[in-house]
Amino acid sequence: MKTTMTLKEWRDLKGLTNADLAKHLGIPLNTVVNYVYGHRKPSLERAHLIAQKTKNAVPPASFIGGK
């Protein structure tokens, strides 16, 4: 198993829906969908929150690059 992954990979690994993921992270569903599909990137603060909630499986650096 990879030590770091994308938010979508982590969600799939945990068997979560986008709604489950939003609840776990404490952020709105539409925001999660935008992050998962790469339409938007989180602020640095939110990226750190995601890292914390995923036990660093999804580090802030995973949001760098792409769109």
Reported confidence tier of residue 50, pLDDT bands at 50, 70, 90: very high
pLDDT number for residue 4: 80
- The rounded percent of the chain whose pLDDT value lies above 90 is 85
Cα distances (Å, whole numbers) of residue 26 to 20, 21, 30, 45, 65: 10, 8, 12, 14, 24
Mean of pLDDT values over 32-61: 95
Q: Per-residue pLDDT for 2 more than 70?
A: no
Q: Which domains does the chain have, with CATH numbers?
A: 7-59 (1.10.260)
Q: Per-residue pLDDT for 7 more than 60?
A: yes
